[in-house]
Structure 1
Amino acid sequence: MLPEQDGLSILKKLRESTQYKRLAIIMLTAKGSEFDKVKGLDMGADDYIAKPFGVMELISRINAVLRRSDVISDAGEKLAYADIALDNARRTVSAGGKKIALTFKEYELLHYLLLNTDIVLGRDKIMEAVWGYDFEGESRTVDMHIKTLRQKLGKAGEYIKTVRNVGYKIGE
């Protein structure tokens, strides 16, 4: 049992939040009635596991949810902010109604920024998400890609904000 609120109210808050809307959620609970399971799943849980459960089953269910979330997030996703539009199914980007040609990493960087609109992202977090590894040392790679991305987006590049001594965000 959770100390101050129940899992369903936490689930509701997560699903209403822009920041955590796409988060994969598995409910682990002592409530195992059919009604409880249906309620949890209908409120937005990706899976619902009632106690007792085995560790191997839990790991398999986590892997299944992660596989599904990857497929769903990549298929036909369209993201936009102001006059920047990204169509993941076609891997196209437009700004101000004009198609923009981006390199693979520039596209992935813009995609990551749009997925996290209005969230300040540190350079290390961007490196890990876009380049796929933990980064220690100079972060000029991110800075240079941001600079190039801004140039290619033209006036829309102004939406990519620098947060001094922290990183970057797209938004207000």
Structure 2
Amino acid sequence: MKKTILGGLNKTATNELVGDLNNLLANFQVYYQNLRGLHWNIKGKNFFELHVKFEELYTDSQMKVDLIAERILTLQGTPLHTFEDYSKLSKVPVAKNISNDVEAVQVIVDSLSELLKIERVILDQAADVNDEGTNSMMSDFISEQEKTVWMMNAWLG
């Protein structure tokens, strides 16, 4: 069996990375679905502001889901693609029937906090195996999400 892929990355190390990327994928899929629900169900005085913001966030998340799955494929793995797998792995809280603005924004902060934990683990692993592609992706995700958490916390007051 071939021990390296992609110009020298260790196959065994990348298999572990693929597992963690699939974990991230599962959590992102739950986060994405939460955002869709928040977008659809938000009510109250902040409706217009948050309805647009939630759409912006779910559009961004949809793009990130695709990037994660394609990275898994690049590392010669298979991306998870069933809700059964997602629900088994996800640590992101499920946001069911939330229409309150404060509760909705708090769900986003809590969800992004879970995603950031996973991404930091992957960032460290990618650095350890010299996987610059995954490292760069995680670094980009982390900086964007940290800013979103800051903004959401500022909104919460």
TM-score in terms of structure 2 length: 0.30
Higher helix share: 2
Structure with the larger strand share: 1
- Greater RCO structure (CA 8 Å; 6+ sep): 2
